[in-house]
Chains A and B, each alone.
Chain A
Amino acid sequence: MKNGRTFKKRILSGYWPYWVGGVLLGVLNILLAALGKPWGITGNIAKWGLAVCKAAGGHPETWFYVWDEPLNLGLIDLLFSRGTVLNLGLIFGVMLAAVLAAEFRIKKVKSSRQLALGIAGGLLMGYGARLALGCNIGALVNGIASQSLHGWVFGLFLILGAWAGSMFMKYLVSKTGN
């Protein structure tokens, strides 16, 4: 009985070893692939951006792009599309794990510098993911796992970018001292 309780506690509020997480993410990714398409995140975020563009009077559906499926920017269709259901599910899965362990807190933005870095980083990630046709999940993990050359090319240059970013952050910290 006591063992059962500690086990439950470990699952709900302990930290799982990295490798357990990696294996479980792999299994979930394979399940998604079996359902038609492996895990991806940023393609769906881009579609929401385009839907806003369209609502504001633009015509993003005429822009040339390589979409994974015919582009449908209707709001209800987009809300109940695979991509949105998956991304929203991820957010609420994290929230569920956090509230079950009583760890959910609203965390405020620390400084204007942090905010500026966040927005700049987000813009670069969004732009980069669309040029590469995927992010760490869609291009790196599933590109390589699908034996597509673009996964390896993305990974190689991703490491270069991460190196440059790390040096930049190091420089920033050494300049300002925090």
Chain B
Amino acid sequence: MPVKIPPKKGLSLGVVGFITAFGIAAFITEQELLLVWIIGIALGFVLYRSGICFASAFRDIFLFRDFSMARVVIILIAISFVGIVIIQAFDTSGGFLEWVYPVGFHTAVGGVLFGFGMVLAGGCASGTLQRIGEGFILFWAVILGITAGSVLGVYHFSWWKNNFFSIDAVFLPDFIGWIPSIVLTLALLGGLNLLAMGIEKRNNSKNGLTEKDLAEKEVKSNG
């Protein structure tokens, strides 16, 4: 008797099949790539199940005075910072300086354009990949836009860098010392978190919400 596979099951098998096949191909090309593949899949799984979106983290501050996602971004930066400082401290090759890039007027222009664009599109770079994975046709158009914009950005980069203020990578510990840089980073992140909490609390008391309402809201927002 032929085994009938329901369409949903077929899709699951297809996804698992591709993940396995590409993982093997990556492993054959370079062993370390299999680890990168698994980490990438884990990133996608976490992003989808937790519903974290960087674009809405910033948009919700201005449209809904909601800081909950923005504070998750601060947590993510703080955890990454602690791990990366440890890696930097143990890395004697100085390779970490490759993660430190030039800064200048182009960084400011890039920040404004990126911030504006992610609100328009309804998702930043990670959000775009995430929504492609969820099945949104729209985000295929967004990623085409990102690709075309990137090519133009690479093409124009030297013009921005040469005609306006730009300096080589600024690694803060080189300028103010390791301890002050670590303290400053943690203080700024902690300060931003407190600021977000403070504004949230003020807004909520203005709206007359009690702790119980807030707990209910939290449960709802997290499903």
**Interface residues, chain A, CB within 8 Å of chain B?**
11, 14-39, 41-42, 45-46, 48-50, 52-53, 60, 63-66, 68, 80, 82, 85-100, 102-110, 114-115, 117-137, 139-150, 152-170
Query: Chain B contact residues (Cβ within 8 angstroms of A): what range?
Result: 35 or more
- Are the C-beta atoms of B142 and A164 separated by less than 8 Å? no
- Are the C-beta atoms of B51 and A15 separated by less than 8 Å? yes
Residues of B within 8 A of A39 (CB): 43
**Interface residues, chain B, CB within 8 Å of chain A?**
8, 11-12, 15-16, 18-19, 22, 25-26, 29-30, 32-33, 35-52, 54-55, 58-59, 61-63, 68-69, 72-73, 75-81, 83-85, 87-88, 95-96, 98-103, 106-122, 124-126, 128-130, 132-139, 141-158, 160, 169-173, 181-182, 185, 188-189, 222-223
Nearest-neighbour CB distance to chain B for A85, whole angstroms, equals 5
Residues of A within 8 A of B116 (CB): 121, 124, 128, 161-162, 164-165, 168
- Are the C-beta atoms of B145 and A119 separated by less than 8 Å? yes
Residues of A within 8 A of B132 (CB): 91, 94
Determine the distance from Cα of A157 to Cα of B107 in the docked complex, in whole angstroms: 8
Q: In terms of DSSP, what is the predominant structure of the interface of chain A?
A: helix
Choose from A63, A97, A107, A136 the contact partner of B45 (Cβ within 8 Å). A97
Residues of A within 8 A of B98 (CB): 37, 68
Choose from B46, B58, B155 the contact partner of A28 (Cβ within 8 Å). B46
Q: A90-B47, A147-B181, A153-B111 are in contact. Are A130 and B103 (CB under 8 A)?
A: no
Choose from A52, A64, A109 the contact partner of B137 (Cβ within 8 Å). A109
Residues of A within 8 A of B19 (CB): 92, 96
- Are the C-beta atoms of B59 and A65 separated by less than 8 Å? no
Nearest-neighbour CB distance to chain B for A95, whole angstroms, equals 4
Nearest-neighbour CB distance to chain B for A1, whole angstroms, equals 24
B32 — nearest CB in chain A belongs to which residue? Answer: A35
A20 — nearest CB in chain B belongs to which residue? Answer: B50
Choose from B25, B38, B80, B149 the contact partner of A127 (Cβ within 8 Å). B149
B69 — nearest CB in chain A belongs to which residue? Answer: A18
